[in-house]
Amino acid sequence: MPTIAKVDFQITPLDAPLGAVVTGLDASQPVAPKRILQLKQALRDYHILIFKNQQLSDEQLLNFSFYFGALFVPLDETPVLASKPGETPLIISVSNVDGGYTGTGELTFHSDHKWTPYPSSGSLLYAVEIPSQGGNTYWLNTNLAYETLDIATKERIADLQLITYNPFLQDRNVPRNLYRSNKSIPLISPVFPHPLVRTHPETGKKHLYLDAATEVEVVGLEAEEGAVLIEQLRQHLNQAQFYYQHKWSIGDIVYWDNQATVHYREAFPANERRVLKRVSLAGSRPF
Ligand SMILES: O=C(O)CCC(=O)C(=O)O
Ligand SMILES: [Fe+2]
């Protein structure tokens, strides 16, 4: 009788600025304590983990996710993707069909729920259906982005606080500003300044804590000076040498650290289906 080779548990770093592939683990089943600790350490080391060939029910996806933390629950006054007061789904449909929330367009580099008082520590995204082309997701190493800044810029931004305005409170039909310069427009939500240079709560490493295109404001700087600085930092951030591009296969789960990365999604053809399921984990106040 032919024997089926058992694939042993393995964490293999990618040849990329971040990421490791995990094989030989069935995420639908209980995971041994030793393995969970190895995965947590690997996330600190590599910032994103890619689990191949998974097949999970919603309950199994939640059970696996909760090994790594509790669910992110948005406050009513700080809405996020798919949130509804009192009835935010546990699993978010990252899909362009069947009532999914994310359409077929490009999503610029961001970390999840950054405008909230305690943004998500990490998210898990599970691929159920993928299009024949496009729709790749990129993750960018924000520690590398920080470390490659010149010394003068590092000193200049060391103690700055950044407000990221909640895009889910803006009128979708009004042109977006990248920088809040008109202070005469009243604020419609509470704002939560966070450090522009974030210290990772577990590794102590420093990260450039900035996304590519959400409206922001540097606390204490004149609008023009702040806008120039943010533009300079965003140009630096958006470099291929900092990111890994993931081409999805059905059954992939990618678990990423929102405290150490930002992510981007390519557009894909509007007549194709792309269905993923996301669980976002709770996080702590950035420092
Ligand atoms: O569609 C994707 O690949 C990523 C969507 C996203 O930003 C997320 O799930 O947080
Ligand atoms: Fe996201």
Give the residue from 271, 269, 265 showing the smallest Cα distance to 94. 265
Show the tokens assigned to 130.
Answer: 């993928």
Q: What is the CA radius of gyration of the chain?
A: 19
Give whole-number Cα distances, 34 to 30, 39, 52, 56, in Å. Answer: 12, 9, 20, 22
Domain with CATH 3.60.130.10 in the chain: 10-141+247-281
Give whole-number Cα distances, 42 to 139, 255, 281, in Å. Answer: 16, 11, 17
pLDDT band at 6 (very low <50, low <70, confident <90, very high): low
CA of 265 to the centre of ligand 1 (A): 6
118 pLDDT above the threshold of 70: yes
CA 172 – CA 102 distance, rounded (Å)? 14
Average pLDDT of span 167-194: 78
Residues with CB under 5 A from ligand 2 (ion): 112
pLDDT tens for 129-166 read 999 999 999 999 999 999 999 999 999 999 999 999 98
Q: 10-141+247-281 domain in CATH 3.60.130.10?
A: yes
Average pLDDT of span 204-211: 98
Give the nearest ligand 1 atom to 137 CA: 3
What is the structure's pLDDT at 93? 92
pLDDT tens for 11-54 read 999 999 999 999 999 999 999 999 999 999 999 999 999 999 99
Give the nearest ligand 1 atom to 112 CA: 10
User: Residue type at 65?
Assistant: S
pTM, full prediction:
0.95
Ligand 1 pocket by C-beta < 6 Å: which residues? 94, 102, 107, 112, 123, 125, 137, 263, 265, 276, 278
What is the structure's pLDDT at 172? 66
Ligand lying closest to the C-alpha of residue 101: 1
CA 206 – CA 155 distance, rounded (Å)? 13
163: left (phi over 0), alpha (psi -120 to 50) or beta: beta
